[in-house]
A and B are shown apart, each in its own frame.
Chain A
Amino acid sequence: MHNDNRKIADEIILRSGVNPRKCMKCGKCTATCPAFDRMEYHPHQFVYMVETGDIEPLLESKSLYTCLSCFACVDRCPRGVEPAKLVEGVRNAVIRQQGKNHMTADDVPGKLDSDLPQQAIVSAFRKYTK
């Protein structure tokens, strides 16, 4: 089981191109994160948990869908770790599995209002589905 976790974590590292070992644990990503209040696991925890292979809680977490992809953590990280890309890597590892889409086309009409720009729907759909 533990081996499987390590494998998933390594796959995420490979696909996202993020090297979590560069992290010096300063916490600036988490200090920067505008979505902190909505997150169960915070950017620095994502980096640490992928590094150590403690991946299961992340795969189950709602935090995957609250990251705004604002990239503030990427630009402010003093070590060039790119936490947002890692969050995306974990999210991709989940939604690419069969039946794990976070949003379906049927969900969309309920979330619309008359002014919502197309951009929002397309972005959300691409972020949340395979």
Chain B
Amino acid sequence: MKVSYFPGCTLKNKAKDLDVYARKCAEILGVTLEEIENWQCCGGVFTSKDEVATKLSSLRALRYAQDRSQPLVSVCSACHNVLKQTNYLMQNDQAFANKANLYMTSNESCDPYDGTTAVYHYLELLRDVVGFDKIAEKVTNPLTGRKIAPYYGCLLLRPNSVMQMDDPENPTIFEDFIRALGAEPVVYSMRNECCGGYVTMEDPDFSKSKSNAVVNNAVSFGAECVVTACPLCKYNLDKNTHTIPVVYFTELLAEALGIKEDCDNA
């Protein structure tokens, strides 16, 4: 299966490993990630719907996928959030959609975007397209006995009316993923609370206290490791807490599929 892939700035820079693991694992799982040509930064956050300009890069990616009849996949939580919210706006706000399409068609002579592209986070791709049971079959190096705490953060789950990934208060997608790799998920309450996000730039102490609250709660439930899908979450947790390792979920996947060393050498 081929999908349109939106890596995003961070995955090309500070989070290269997140990208490399995702690509290699996808190959093994029978999915080809076709990187969108000339993609542009998503902007990091989805801002007010009265701005059209900040949505155009997402819109280009959505239409790129539409032209190829492919789903649009990203790994970074922030990119996924922006793409998904933009798609929702295009589907549900006709006035916005008309306005936004005007910008598109004037620049590039092709059809307007009609809102039909399916937007998946890489985790959703694993759950809904590949299937966690199929992943479990491909695991050659099961992570048996490891107690792993998933960290959802904010961007994957909220706003739930748009993201529709999982129950925002009682999500299970990450836990099921960890189970498929043979490890034991640690369910803890702070898994959907904020790490401090971009405010870390202005107020590092603040994000430190938020990050610590998350990791301490995970540790109190017996976690040996925290996994996340978001480079900013990883940065905040890594920088501010030093109790247990914080890794990307794709790294765990690569390890379980037995290709982590290949990736690291690549």
Does A24 lie at the interface of the complex (its beta carbon under 8 Å from any beta carbon of B)? no
Does B203 lie at the interface of the complex (its beta carbon under 8 Å from any beta carbon of A)? yes
Indicate if the CB atoms of B199 and A119 lie closer than 8 Å. Answer: no
When distances are taken between beta carbons in the complex, the residues of chain B under 8 Å from A41 are none
Interface residues of B (CB under 8 A from A): 8-10, 13-15, 41, 43-45, 47-50, 54, 76, 78, 154, 157-160, 168-169, 192-194, 196-203, 206, 210, 230-232, 234-235, 238-239
Indicate if the CB atoms of B196 and A68 lie closer than 8 Å. Answer: yes
Given A71-B154, A119-B10, A126-B54: A92 touches B48 (CB 8 Å cut-off): yes
8 more CB-based (< 8 A) A-B contacts, given A113-B239, A118-B41, A123-B78: A71-B158, A72-B194, A92-B47, A116-B235, A119-B230, A124-B199, A125-B44, A126-B45
Indicate if the CB atoms of A70 and B194 lie closer than 8 Å. Answer: yes
State how many angstroms separate the Cβ of B81 from the closest Cβ of chain A.
9
Q: Mark A44-78, 1 if CB is under 8 A from B, else 0.
A: 00000000000000000000011011111011100
- Cα separation A119 to B45 with both chains bound (whole Å): 9
Does A127 lie at the interface of the complex (its beta carbon under 8 Å from any beta carbon of B)? yes
Indicate if the CB atoms of A118 and B201 lie closer than 8 Å. Answer: no
Interface residues of A in 77-118 (CB under 8 A from B): 82, 85, 88-89, 92, 111, 113, 115-118
When distances are taken between beta carbons in the complex, the residues of chain B under 8 Å from A85 are 48
A14's closest neighbor in chain B, by CB?
Answer: B50
Indicate if the CB atoms of A126 and B44 lie closer than 8 Å. Answer: yes
When distances are taken between beta carbons in the complex, the residues of chain A under 8 Å from B78 are 119, 123
- Dominant secondary structure at the B interface: loop
Indicate if the CB atoms of B158 and A120 lie closer than 8 Å. Answer: no
Indicate if the CB atoms of A127 and B48 lie closer than 8 Å. Answer: no
Interface size on A, residues (CB 8 A): 37
When distances are taken between beta carbons in the complex, the residues of chain B under 8 Å from A34 are 193-194, 210
When distances are taken between beta carbons in the complex, the residues of chain A under 8 Å from B192 are 72
When distances are taken between beta carbons in the complex, the residues of chain B under 8 Å from A72 are 154, 158, 192-194
- Cα separation A72 to B168 with both chains bound (whole Å): 9
The 3 closest A-B pairs by CB, nearest first: A123-B44, A122-B44, A71-B158
- Cα separation A34 to B153 with both chains bound (whole Å): 12
